[in-house]
Amino acid sequence: MGEKLWFHGKITREQAERLLYPPETGLFLVRESTNYPGDYTLCVSCDGKVEHYRIIYHDGKLSIDEEEYFDNLMQLVEHYTKDADGLCTRLIKPKLMEGTVAAQDEFSRSGWAMNRKDLKLIQTIGKGEFGDVMVGDYRGTKVAVKCIKHDATAQAFLAEASVMTQLRHTNLVQLLGVIVEERGSLFIVTEYMAKGSLVDYLRSRGRTVLGGECLLKFSLYVCEAMEYLEANNFVHRDLAARNVLVSDDNIAKVSDFGLTKEASSTQDTAKLPVKWTSPEALREKKFSTKSDVWSYGVLLWEIYSFGRVPYPRIPLKEVVPRVEKGYKMEAPDGCPAAVYDLMKQCWTLDPAGRPSFRLLREKLQHIRAKELHL
């Protein structure tokens, strides 16, 4: 049995039944109970239907029938592979956790699998809801590492990583490799961005340090990355200054793509960043390059206000109704009229009326050429 690859984390009863189809007596998996969080359920295919056995915790031990007790899931599964002992059948064949096994092979085949032995984790630089971000050393190169403990989220991150293997642009944070451990932990290794997030960079330096030329450069870097994603039909969904990172030599790069896709395809609009999300994406979950353009307008506003939180002085619950009535933020202090004009174009209520990233990039270059000739 070895590794716990039959453990599928938090999946629903229906998902478990789909995974155990077509029926094959003795095919099994263990899931975390959705009704009793923290409890487990053993799901076994038996004569064409799936039986769900609740695994009961009692004084730190696990049991199905409250006669046999086990220290952990491994022991419990091991026991029932040898003997049905009251179940409809003995456990014959584990339904392997698709994602991790398949992904491991996939990344190895495509040359993105890294060797865990070559990676030294040095210190935590950020805590996300999915796991820590750490600084590491990979064969002498400083790298950033997202560490995802095994769970259904690992699946979403595998999706992110496989998306990242197909994208390469100077203004996208570059994936270097992926490590999928047997136990199902996942490490996504990317280039290290020494100066942290753009929002912190802007706030900590402010207008005394950063001139207009610098702000325009950041705006262009992000726009070029987004033009590349647009050309590749890839929607970011969570574009904001907090998801743009700054390298040691002050180059801004877009990060964190791929994640949000999983997050927002579920009915969870509560998690969407309201102030950055376009009205149609909030209302009908219509995400597109045009909804990314809306977010880009907000990001431009963040850049020119040196990292202020958008919609200052408006209570969060009033933002959406006001925006839907056509409210647009005022220009940040000292923002060139031409740049503010671009923001407003990004905030056109009808998505079809918003400019493309290509057009935005051309206009920004035009503004830049004019400023340089002054």
The domains of the chain are located at 13-94, 98-191, 197-370
DSSP state of 197: B
The CATH architecture to which 98-191 belongs is: 2-Layer Sandwich (3.30)
Q: Which residue has the tokens 């263990």?
A: 30
Number of other residues whose CB lies within 10 A of the CB of residue 270 = 6
Instruction: Answer for the pair 55, 42: CB distance below 8 angstroms, yes or no.
Output: yes
DSSP codes joined into one string, 235-261: --S--SGGGEEE-TTS-EEE---SHHH
Tens digits of per-residue pLDDT, 118-147? 999 999 988 776 678 999 999 999 999 988
Does the pLDDT of residue 99 top 80, yes or no?
Answer: no
Name the token pair of 77.
């599964």
Considering the candidates 71, 83, 85, 238, report the single residue annotated as catalytic: 238
Number of other residues whose CB lies within 10 A of the CB of residue 293 = 25
220: left (phi over 0), alpha (psi -120 to 50) or beta: alpha
- Which residues, other chains included, contact 44 with Cβ-Cβ below 8 Å and sequence gap of 6+? 20, 26, 27, 28, 50, 51, 53, 87, 88, 89, 91
Tens digits of per-residue pLDDT, 311-347? 999 999 999 999 999 999 999 999 999 999 999 999 9
The answer on whether 370 is annotated among ligand-binding residues is no
Q: Is 65 a catalytic residue?
A: no
DSSP codes joined into one string, 29-95: EEEE-SSSTT-EEEEEEETTEEEEEEEEEETTEEESSSSS-BSSHHHHHHHHHH--TTSSS---EE-
Band (374; pLDDT cuts 50, 70, 90): low
Name the token pair of 225.
């990355």
What is the mean pLDDT of the segment spanning 195-199?
96
Q: Is it true that 98-191 and 197-370 share their CATH fold?
A: no
Q: Given this structure, which CATH class describes domain 197-370?
A: mainly alpha
Which has the closest alpha carbon to 199: 138, 139, 243, 232?
243
What pTM was estimated for this model as a whole? 0.73
The hierarchical CATH code for the domain 13-94 is 3.30.505.10
pLDDT score, position 10: 79
Distances 184 to 86, 121, 132, 316 between C-alpha atoms, Å:
30, 18, 16, 39
